[in-house]
Chain A
Amino acid sequence: MTSVLEPSTTLELPPAPPDPVLRRPRNTQGFWGWITTVDHKRIGIMYGVTAFVFFLFGGFEALLIRLQLAQPNGTLLSADLYNQLFTMHGTTMVFLVVMPISAAFFNYFAPIMIGARDVAFPRLNAFSYWTFLFGAILINSSFLLGGAPNGGWFGYAPNTSITFSPGHNIDFWIFGLQLLGIASTVGAVNFIVTILNLRAPGMSLFKMPVFVWMTLVASFLLLFAMPIITVALFLLMFDRQFGANFFNPAAGGDPVLWQHLFWLFGHPEVYILILPAMGIVSEILPTFARKPLFGYPVVVFSGIAIGFMGWGVWVHHMFAVGLGPVAVSAFSISTMFIAVPTGVKIFNWLATCWRGSIRLSVPMLFALGFVAMFTIGGLSGVTHSVSPHDRQQTDTYYIVAHFHYVLFGGALFGIMGGIYYWWPKIFGHLLSERIGKLHFWLWFAGFNLTFGPMHILGLEGMPRRIYTYDENLGFDYWNMVATIGSFVIAVSVLVFLYNVWHSRRNAVPAGPDPWDARTLEWTIPSPTPAYNFAEVPEVHEVDDFWHRKYGEDDEGRMVKLAPPDTEGSLDIHRDDVHLPSPSYFPMVASFGLMVIAYAMIYRNYVVAVVGALVLLGGIYAWGLEPSSEPHDDHGHDGGGDAPHDADDGGEHKGVEPADTPDAALGVSSGTAEEVTS
């Protein structure tokens, strides 16, 4: 059996190339250390920082939109610029903010919470990040290159066809989303494999933290939803660039096909956005209530149920399209019933807090804010499912209010809670509670002031996606309130940035477990060492760390146990853990993809071929370099499992499971025999 460790594998590299760029990067410090990193924690931080920068972009776009709408017949923005801004606001917040911040948490914490040392494919993980970044840059560069996408984040054909959108605006959108789709699909595969395969000993699926569960469900949703939008975007591209007729009614094409494909992706996408936040909240509430999550299996199963049912509700975005009473009835009913598992979660969260010992720290405030605000979004969602009346509501601001209560009141509240909760683990110090509370209350007030009035505006008949409205329609008052609210949110974000700066300057080491928390990430030092775990942990219970700290007396009350011995292991410093080596090639391959995308936008197929060669070269070089450089002194001890030597680069080991593999894990059982043969 060969191994990555054998010197023979280095022969694949060019012998001592003179150009330093071609030499395997070794430096893990400084700028190049970050560029070439394959460490899931650093990639997580890069995802988070990038997404936060785009959050500021998207927020700025929103402020411009709100300023334009503050008064009737606003003149701040032209119609065209407004259309670009609302399109980019939606696209940015969905694809460049909520998805990548969730990816940041997946990256940083999912491996640690399951007791792994990295993700299954570290370089593929870097490739996901770079492809995401280049896609984000590409789509935003359109502002400087003749105009941003202006067809809405939903890009309905035929408005996005070449006849009605002759500029490159829509092309940027198509190819930007294609890159982001590749990044998400690849990331989803990586996380599915990581969660299915790399759990610590004893961590069965039903001992995983709920956040990991929700990551798994969201990854499966991504895996199956992304190809559908990919196809839709390709069809649109063939229409625009090669004269195909998919959405051209004159040639028999049907614009409604676009809507089916888009929402068949788009509705699971909504759950992709919200499930990670639900996972975060399911971690925060038990920690700050000092009680286990009420009905863990039910919360997990309702998450899975949401994942499945999310595929059967997409037509509720299309009740006004005219699909006939049968389809509309069926999807009304399915939409109503997806509220059931969602409601179950809300009641289980409340029951978790019931008779708990609640500490209203900032993460808890955001988590409770999530429960309260997301409920509002869920309830307005139920009112949409009454399909005859939904034809009144749809495309009014009532819908805008609804999905902001879900995606801001839900996803962003959860994410903010997650940021405050996990900040000490990532950076080693806590964010200030005092400033954090100010942040929360401004955020909470600003949010409700902005989006609460939109319910009323919608019921009063204000349409979405309009850059202007007449004063005789009576929309002015609530629009002004909403605009003021949006600036309160902006102030709260500034307070958050101040908190980051202030807390960094006055950094007090947080210690490994500042919240008296429950899951594995709190057993290791803060910030997390490069190898995550000095000793790979062994897991016995859900919330294993909690059970090492506390037991239950006869009445079921919690009782403090003797300090767990893991605290001793915190001092252990390991430099013998074999980590995957940094690499240039994931970024090179991603760069090739970006070149292809720009070339396709400008119809320069020669450059596209060059980009394809860069991509191919990057993939080849990546495949031929070993996942980790050999160490002369490679001392594995009993627990010292390298994050894995089996990277995607072609190191394939015959896997010899010592114990019977569980064939019921959703992977075809037929494949199990091959590995033992």
Chain B
Amino acid sequence: MTAVETTVHGDGHGHATNTGVSNEKVAMWAFLGSECLLFGALISTYLLYRGKSVSGPTEPADLFDIPFTSVSSFVLLMSSLTMVLALAAIQRRDEPRLRLWLLATALLGATFIAGQIYEFTAFVNEGLTISTNVFGSSFFVLTGFHGVHVTLGIVMLLSLWGLSARGKLPPEKSETVEIAGLYWHFVDVVWIVIFTVIYLVP
């Protein structure tokens, strides 16, 4: 490994880091690494309890409306696209478009959450709650944790939108959008894994 030169500029601006990656971005990557373990533990728990329920609905297929969930998953995936567009907008210094795409991303995320709330309600009506059996426990906790992550992401996006609307998110700070985007894409990728594990794997 070669030595890393840190160069300190005399102008008081861009402080280079040893890695060449900004502190914020390294921090976000580290945090997402930690999140991987969090979801890893939750997904493992879900997998461990597959088919271990002793009563109540034990087969996901008994309850799941796969087409419905597929559509809401698609909505969430589309939000990753709009997130990319938001970042592209700020990088081209197009602030109105930035706000548009941030809002679109937040709305798509909110649509996904609405779908999740609908699904949870439907399951409860069909007799599956968190305390019905281990399937109910692990299903609601895993998807619920993911839902909370999406919700926090929406709060983050709306905050950025608000900052931008007040002129506090100039193109020079495009990295803020990029870092929020890292989080958002991560949450989407995690959903692909969860969706596969819960809904698609027989």
Contacts and interface: CB of A to CB of B under 8 A. Distances in A.
Q: Do chains A and B touch in the complex (CB under 8 A)?
A: yes
Interface of A: 1-3, 5, 12, 120-121, 185, 188-190, 192-193, 196-202, 204-207, 223-228, 230-232, 234-235, 238-239, 242-246, 250-254, 257, 261, 264, 536, 578, 620, 623, 634, 636-639, 641-642, 644-646, 648, 650-665, 667-668, 671-672, 674-675
B1 A205 contact: yes
A657 B16 contact: yes
B133 A245 contact: yes
B53 A227 contact: no
A634 B41 contact: no
B38 A197 contact: no
Interface string B160-200: 00010000101011111011000000000000000000000
Give the top 5 A-B pairs by smallest Cβ distance, nearest first: A661-B20, A243-B131, A197-B17, A227-B38, A244-B137
A536 B5 CA distance: 13
A120 B130 CA distance: 41
Contacts of B140: 244
22 contacts: A2-B170, A2-B172, A196-B17, A198-B18, A201-B5, A226-B34, A235-B141, A244-B136, A246-B134, A252-B53, A252-B54, A254-B52, A623-B159, A639-B8, A641-B15, A658-B5, A658-B7, A659-B7, A662-B20, A667-B19, A671-B21, A671-B25
A634 B31 CA distance: 33
B12 A636 contact: yes
Contacts of A659: 4-5, 7, 16
B68 to A, nearest CB: 25
Contact of B2 (A199, A204, A637): A204
Given A1-B13, A201-B5, A228-B41, A665 B19 contact: yes
B26 interface: yes
Contact of B3 (A202, A223, A242, A651): A202
Interface centre among B1, B52, B134, B174, by most chain A C-beta atoms within 10 angstroms, is B134
A251 B55 contact: yes
Interface centre among A190, A257, A672, by most chain B C-beta atoms within 10 angstroms, is A257
Interface string B35-67: 101100110010011001111000000000000
B26 A246 contact: no
Contact of B20 (A121, A636, A655): A655
A27 B3 CA distance: 40
A100 B153 CA distance: 31
A525 to B, nearest CB: 22
Interface centre among B8, B55, B168, by most chain A C-beta atoms within 10 angstroms, is B8
Interface string B106-147: 000000000000000000000001110110111011000100
Given A654-B175, A661-B21, A667-B26, A251 B133 contact: yes
A252 B134 contact: yes
A225 B19 CA distance: 25
Given A663-B20, A668-B29, 10 more contacts: A189-B30, A189-B34, A204-B2, A226-B34, A227-B35, A234-B141, A244-B140, A641-B15, A652-B179, A661-B21
Given A206-B1, A228-B37, A646-B24, A636 B18 contact: no
B134 A204 contact: no
Contacts of B13: 1, 3, 653
Given A644-B23, A653-B13, A658-B7, A197 B175 contact: no
B70 interface: no
Interface centre among A1, A226, A246, A252, by most chain B C-beta atoms within 10 angstroms, is A252
Contact of A192 (B26, B52, B175): B26
B182 to A, nearest CB: 9
B33 interface: yes
A120 B5 CA distance: 17
A667 B18 contact: no
Contacts of A121: 23, 27
Contact of A254 (B41, B48, B173): B48
A197 B19 contact: yes
Given A121-B27, A231-B42, A652 B176 contact: yes
B55 to A, nearest CB: 7
Contacts of B5: 201-202, 658-659
B15 A251 contact: no
A648 B1 CA distance: 29
A185 B34 contact: yes
Interface centre among B37, B55, B173, by most chain A C-beta atoms within 10 angstroms, is B37
Interface of B: 1-27, 29-31, 33-35, 37-38, 41-42, 45, 48-49, 52-55, 129-131, 133-134, 136-138, 140-141, 145, 159, 163, 168, 170, 172-176, 178-179
A1 B17 contact: no
A608 to B, nearest CB: 14
B19 A641 contact: no
Given A2-B170, A652-B173, A662-B18, A252 B133 contact: yes
A196 B19 contact: yes
Contact of A646 (B1, B15, B34): B15
Contact of A201 (B7, B42, B173): B7
Nearest to B3: A204
A641 B10 CA distance: 8
Contacts of A204: 1-4
B22 A196 contact: no
Nearest to A655: B22
A139 B99 CA distance: 44
Given A227-B38, A230-B38, A648 B27 contact: yes
Contacts of A655: 14-17, 20-22
Contacts of A232: 41
Interface centre among B7, B37, B41, B136, by most chain A C-beta atoms within 10 angstroms, is B41
Nearest to B129: A243
Contact of B131 (A244, A536, A650, A652): A244
Contact of B21 (A2, A231, A244, A667): A667
Contact of B4 (A120, A645, A661): A661
Contacts of A12: 168
A662 B4 contact: yes
Given A252-B53, A652-B173, A199 B137 contact: no
A111 B89 CA distance: 37
A644 B26 CA distance: 15
Nearest to A666: B19
Contacts of B6: 199-201
A12 B169 CA distance: 12
Contacts of B37: 224-225, 227-228
Contacts of A662: 1-2, 4, 18-20
Interface centre among B12, B49, B133, by most chain A C-beta atoms within 10 angstroms, is B12
Contacts of A3: 12-13
A656 B21 CA distance: 9
A657 B20 contact: yes
A327 to B, nearest CB: 14
Nearest to B42: A231
Contacts of B163: 650
A654 B4 contact: no
Interface centre among A226, A227, A648, by most chain B C-beta atoms within 10 angstroms, is A227
Nearest to B11: A636
B153 to A, nearest CB: 14
Nearest to B178: A674
A242 B129 CA distance: 10
